[in-house]
Amino acid sequence: MDATMDDVARAAGVSRSLVSLVFQDSPKVAPSSRAKVLAAAGALGYRPNALARSLASKQVRTVGVLLNDISNPFFAAVYDALAECAETRGYSILLGAGQRSSAREREIVAGFLSHRVGGLILVSPRMSVSSIEELTSGLPSVLVGRDVRLRDVDTITNDEMTGARAALGHLVSLGHRDIAHVSGGKGAGAAERRAAYTRGMTERGLAEYVRVVVGDFTEQSGETAARQLITSGALPTAVLAANDMIAVGMMGVFQDAGIDVPSDISIVGYDNLTLSSLSMISLTSVAQPLADFGRAAMELLLERVDGARTTRVRRQFEPALIVRGSTGAVGPRPSIPAR
Amino acid sequence: MDATMDDVARAAGVSRSLVSLVFQDSPKVAPSSRAKVLAAAGALGYRPNALARSLASKQVRTVGVLLNDISNPFFAAVYDALAECAETRGYSILLGAGQRSSAREREIVAGFLSHRVGGLILVSPRMSVSSIEELTSGLPSVLVGRDVRLRDVDTITNDEMTGARAALGHLVSLGHRDIAHVSGGKGAGAAERRAAYTRGMTERGLAEYVRVVVGDFTEQSGETAARQLITSGALPTAVLAANDMIAVGMMGVFQDAGIDVPSDISIVGYDNLTLSSLSMISLTSVAQPLADFGRAAMELLLERVDGARTTRVRRQFEPALIVRGSTGAVGPRPSIPAR
DNA sequence: CCCAGCCATTGGAGCGCTCTAATGGAGTCT
DNA sequence: AGACTCCATTAGAGCGCTCCAATGGCTGGG
Please give the domain boundaries of chain A with CATH numbers for all domains: 5-48 (1.10.260.40), 60-158+289-317 (3.40.50.2300), 160-288 (3.40.50.2300)
Among B51, B275, B279, select the one facing A275 at the smallest CB separation: B275
Q: Can you list the positions of beta strands (E) in A90-210? A: 92-97, 119-123, 141-144, 153-158, 179-183
Task: Please state, in angstroms and rounded to a whole number, the distance separating the CA atoms of residues A287 and A271.
Answer: 5
CA A325 distance to own-chain centroid: 26
CA distance B178 to chain A (A): 25
Contact list in B for residue A279 (CB cut-off 8 A) is 251-253, 255-256
> Is 60 exceeded by the pLDDT of residue A339?
no
Q: What count of residues does chain B have?
A: 339
CA distance A287 to chain B (A): 17
Contact A92 B80 (CB under 8 A): no
β-bridge partners, B266:
B238
Contact B113 A47 (CB under 8 A): yes
B25 touches strand C (CB under 7 A): no
Cβ contacts below 8 Å, chain A against chain B, sum to 138
> Residue closest to D12, CA→C1'?
B17
Average pLDDT, chain A: 91
B281 touches chain A (CB under 8 A): yes
Q: What is the pLDDT of residue A5?
A: 94
Query: pLDDT tens, A176-195?
Result: 999 999 999 988 889 999 99
Task: Please state, in angstroms and rounded to a whole number, the distance separating the CA atoms of residues A147 and A145.
Answer: 7
> Is 50 exceeded by the pLDDT of residue B301?
yes
- Quick one: DSSP state of residue A120? E
Query: pLDDT tens, A146-162?
Result: 888 898 899 999 999 99
**How many beta carbons lie within 10 A of that of residue B273, not counting itself?**
27
Q: What is the pLDDT of residue B189?
A: 83
Contact A55 B50 (CB under 8 A): no
Contact B99 A80 (CB under 8 A): yes
> Is 60 exceeded by the pLDDT of residue B20?
yes
By C-alpha distance, which of B285, B277, B279, B210 is closest to B246? B285
CB A13 within 8 A of CB A39: no
Instruction: Pick B274 or A142 by higher pLDDT.
Output: A142
Query: pLDDT tens, A229-286?
Result: 999 999 999 999 999 999 999 999 999 999 999 999 999 999 999 889 888 899 999 9
Contact list in B for residue A278 (CB cut-off 8 A) is 219, 248-249, 251-252, 281
Q: What is the pLDDT of residue A332?
A: 64
CB B281 within 8 A of CB B121: no
Strand order in the sheet with A284-287: A212-214, A179-183, A238-241, A266-271, A284-287, A320-322
B338 touches chain A (CB under 8 A): no
Query: pLDDT tens, B194-220?
Result: 999 999 999 999 999 999 999 999 899
Estimate in Å the CA B20 to C1' D8 gap, whole number: 14
**Which of A24, A63, A68, A115 should one mutate to test binding to chain B, selecting the residue with the greatest count of B CBs within 10 A?**
A115
CA B101 distance to own-chain centroid: 16
Among B52, B76, B99, select the one facing A55 at the smallest CB separation: B52
Q: What is the pLDDT of residue B14?
A: 94
Tell me how far CA of residue B177 lies from CA of A163, A217, B174, B211, B322, in angstroms.
50, 43, 9, 12, 20
pTM: 0.86
By C-alpha distance, which of A124, A132, A129, A71 is closest to A106? A132
Which contiguous run of DSSP H or E holds residue B265?
A: none
> Is 50 exceeded by the pLDDT of residue B339?
no
> Is 70 exceeded by the pLDDT of residue A316?
yes
Q: What is the pLDDT of residue B95?
A: 87
Q: What's the average model confidence in pLDDT over B271-299?
A: 93
> Is 80 exceeded by the pLDDT of residue B100?
no
- A262 preceded by cis ω (within 30°)? yes
CA A79 distance to own-chain centroid: 7
Tell me phi and psi for residue B38, to 5 degrees: -60, -40
Tell me the pLDDT band of A1, cut-offs 50, 70 and 90: low
Task: Please state, in angstroms and rounded to a whole number, the distance separating the CA atoms of residues B122 and B116.
Answer: 16
By C-alpha distance, which of B47, B171, B187 is closest to B127? B187
CB B21 within 8 A of CB B28: yes
- Give the CB-side neighbour count of residue A249, counting CA atoms within 13 A: 23
3-state secondary structure at position B166: helix
Task: Please state, in angstroms and rounded to a whole number, the distance separating the CA atoms of residues B26 and B323.
Answer: 54
CB A140 within 8 A of CB A119: yes
3-state secondary structure at position B96: strand
A18 touches strand C (CB under 7 A): yes
Contact partners, residue A54, CB within 8 Å, separation at least 6: A60, A61, A62, A116, B51
CA distance B211 to chain A (A): 26
β-bridge partners, B121:
B65, B142
Contact list in A for residue B52 (CB cut-off 8 A) is 55
- A334 preceded by cis ω (within 30°)? no
Tell me the pLDDT band of B338, cut-offs 50, 70 and 90: very low
Task: Please state, in angstroms and rounded to a whole number, the distance separating the CA atoms of residues B168 and B209.
Answer: 12
Q: Amino acid identity of A45? A: G
By C-alpha distance, which of B162, B161, B144, B164 is closest to B153? B144
- Pairing outcome for strands A320-322 and A284-287: antiparallel
Chain B: residue nearest A69 by CA? B80
B55 touches strand D (CB under 7 A): yes
Tell me the pLDDT band of A68, cut-offs 50, 70 and 90: confident
Query: pLDDT tens, B102-158?
Result: 888 998 999 999 999 999 999 999 899 999 999 998 899 999 998 888 988 999 999
Q: What is the pLDDT of residue A338?
A: 45
Tell me the pLDDT band of B306, cut-offs 50, 70 and 90: confident
> Is 70 exceeded by the pLDDT of residue A335?
no
Contact B281 A280 (CB under 8 A): yes
CA distance A303 to chain B (A): 21
Contact A278 B248 (CB under 8 A): yes
- Quick one: DSSP state of residue B275? G
> Is 60 exceeded by the pLDDT of residue A337?
no
Helix, strand, coil share of chain B (percent; to 5): 45, 15, 40
CB A152 within 8 A of CB A163: no
Contact A96 B84 (CB under 8 A): no
Q: What's the average model confidence in pLDDT over A10-23?
A: 94
A93 touches chain B (CB under 8 A): yes
Contact list in B for residue A114 (CB cut-off 8 A) is 47-50
CA B324 distance to own-chain centroid: 23
Tell me phi and psi for residue B209, to 5 degrees: -90, -5
Tell me the pLDDT band of B231, cut-offs 50, 70 and 90: very high
Estimate in Å the CA A138 to C1' D8 gap, whole number: 38
3-state secondary structure at position B218: coil
Task: Please state, in angstroms and rounded to a whole number, the distance separating the CA atoms of residues A96 and A105.
Answer: 8
3-state secondary structure at position B147: coil
B52 touches chain A (CB under 8 A): yes
Contact A280 B111 (CB under 8 A): no
CA distance A248 to chain B (A): 8
